[in-house]
A and B are shown apart, each in its own frame.
Chain A
């Protein structure tokens, strides 16, 4: 049995932890949250210098040529530090879309500049409140028309991969967000350290990612792949929130004893720990499936996504509650986690959607899984 990261991968994670503890303290997340900035450009550039954005991009396209296990290890640390950078949009979504469905020419045009951090990409899917499998946005005659809302990091991205249709076909459109016919505005985000935009396309010049509309299955696959990496960020965020809560309740005294000595508090921390460990195990399975292009990816992405979303949301709630009154203040950092947890859970489809998707996949015969 070898169901864990390798020593090299763990070393990578440790190095990332050290780097981010120095260059991305929670004060950085707060600085972005409290300012007009949408992200920390300094941190974006310094992570790019380390080559993080190009982790899973092959060397011939300017990347580091690592696999997705290395990417997952980094994602956990990016989440642990609550980094205020558009990493998930540009790397797990835009970059992965190009790797998954792009033509060689498209890869050559975009991947080296994504790897270097010069380009920020994003994925524009949602169009209105609710969930819809088919986009209303249309690409026809190389012109993209429709409204996407919200687009994560859409105000700072240079280009977007946009879910769109053409007649009965669905696919992913590649569009330069500086092009004519693109109007975008920043929208207030529940987590202002991760920005959102509304983007209106009015005949903007665009092309299909790949030679033709890639189809719904490829879009689902893209989202599954990103969901696993999202899960690692969520896992990291949950772990950090847990650690802060533990420290605080150990140091805070009431009735002459640390509040962490009361069973009511101990049991909640134990339960939170359990949820995080279950999320970790489910996420590892997702990482294995992702790294190996295994047929279990669909089912395992559901498990990782739901487990990590639930764990992070619980951690976000508990860090506030177990801090007591100060947990509700702007001054304390608890709300940074409370916000980020919900942002990450909302953006790629909430846990209810993913649970339903899991049952759909189990019914479709990817049944209880090869490793049941």
Chain B
């Protein structure tokens, strides 16, 4: 038991390191790469695209993709190593993940030869950015309840409806959208999957303002949007299979670091802030809280090491890899709430100039509820663990066997 690379991994890490060192600037200790909030800025997008193209030219883009699609057929552990190494450099935020990590692999499995030919290379190079049009106002955890329709009209389809929580819709060239094409079939059986040009007439994109004031997502409205049949992915009414492929890849890509202030910072402020003339860290209750946070964070970190070990040994990671977001997201919320409590009344200050740590903990507190909802709510994740990991019975479906049009809808918004 140790934390070392195998000799092959060491060689690979050295290659990655050498290329990065020659092509990017290393982060200083304590320095962070540009955050994700700068995503929508056109300059930031250009920088991200330039970096992606540079990687693609050198064979360091989408390294897990098969060689025939421009990747290097890298193993999962090599991908881990590459990401670890790249994170040490001052590189632009990755705005290509949804396409490269989820949609590209879906096209590889379910797309036509023509689609693979046309779309995968610009996706890999970052020349075209992709978004995922899945959730709807009335279809979140129950995604297959989606109501956006696609109606065939010769060689084209006409799309009407609304998608929501779409990351990057405002700067994406392409989207992949799941639609309802047969409302008389059971809900999973009347869905068709398309690639849609986000600049098409009839598409309206509105940013959603979140409780933290930021806008990471959009609503996307479709009014008589035309999509060519050659942009259909998979067979008519068989889109759920493709959607599942996308979602399976989503599970692999969510759960990364949330950024923002960390435990080291929390420990520091607990030592610095005074409670009744003594450092807060001397308070027994404070110590208990800090220790709980630390132990859960470390438990997660070492769980990641176990997952990486399985990858390194060429095995499929065990079910423990599914606990990350369920533990990490609520923990982030609890830590930020506690960091605010530590500050006393000053904890209520969000003003960057007046708040401790430039208001980082207040920002984390306001942003953290989103982490517990995005990519599967805490409750859905518990269902997933219970059903897929522990083998417990699935939920009883009240809509089983029913035609989609007959399913009760209640309050749709």
Contacts and interface: CB of A to CB of B under 8 A. Distances in A.
Contact of A250 (B6, B383, B392): B392
B191 interface: no
**Interface of chain B, main secondary structure:** helix
Contact of B281 (A279, A280, A363): A363
B295 A284 contact: no
Contacts of A352: 288
B398 interface: no
25 contacts: A1-B3, A1-B9, A4-B1, A4-B310, A4-B313, A6-B1, A263-B379, A263-B395, A269-B390, A270-B383, A270-B386, A270-B389, A271-B382, A273-B390, A277-B320, A281-B301, A282-B298, A287-B1, A291-B1, A306-B295, A355-B292, A362-B267, A363-B271, A367-B267, A372-B264
A261 interface: yes
Contacts of A185: none
A294 B299 CA distance: 18
A288 B1 contact: yes
B339 interface: no
Interface string B374-394: 000001011101110110111
Contacts of A260: 392-393
B4 A359 contact: no
B392 A261 contact: yes
Interface string A1-37: 1111110000000000000000000000000000000
Interface string B64-99: 000000000000010010000000000000000000
Interface of B: 1-6, 9, 77, 80, 263-264, 267, 271, 281, 284, 287-288, 290-292, 294-296, 298-303, 305-306, 308-313, 320, 323, 326-327, 379, 381-383, 385-387, 389-390, 392-396
B80 to A, nearest CB: 8
Given A4-B309, A363-B271, A302 B291 contact: yes
Contacts of A142: none
Given A267-B386, A278-B327, A1 B305 contact: yes
- Per DSSP, chain A at the interface is helix
Q: Top 3 A-B pairs ranked by shortest CB distance?
A: A278-B299, A355-B291, A281-B302
Interface in A249-281: 249-250, 257-258, 260-261, 263, 266-267, 269-271, 273-274, 277-281
A257 B395 contact: no
A18 B361 CA distance: 50
Contacts of B271: 363
Nearest to A284: B302
Contacts of A267: 379, 382-383, 386
B309 A1 contact: yes
Given A278-B296, A281-B303, A284-B302, 8 more contacts: A3-B2, A258-B393, A270-B382, A278-B300, A278-B303, A358-B294, A362-B267, A368-B263
Nearest to B5: A1
B294 A303 contact: yes
Contact of A285 (B294, B298, B313, B387): B298
A358 B385 CA distance: 31
B122 to A, nearest CB: 34
B179 to A, nearest CB: 30
Given A263-B395, A303-B299, A284 B390 contact: no
Given A3-B3, A6-B1, A368 B267 contact: yes
Report the contact-size class of chain A (Cβ under 8 Å from the partner): 35 or more
A270 B295 contact: no
A312 to B, nearest CB: 15
Contacts of A271: 382
A3 B5 CA distance: 10
A307 interface: yes
Contacts of A358: 291, 294-295
A48 B60 CA distance: 56
B392 A269 contact: yes
Contacts of B392: 246, 249-250, 260-261, 266, 269
A368 B308 CA distance: 21
Nearest to B378: A267
B309 A278 contact: no
Contacts of B2: 2-3, 288, 292
A303 B379 CA distance: 27
A274 B326 contact: yes
Nearest to A258: B393
A257 B396 contact: yes
A281 B299 CA distance: 5
A69 interface: yes
A20 B59 CA distance: 53
A354 B294 CA distance: 12
A118 interface: no
Contacts of A266: 382-383, 386-387, 390, 392
B291 A356 contact: yes
Contacts of B389: 270, 273
B305 to A, nearest CB: 4
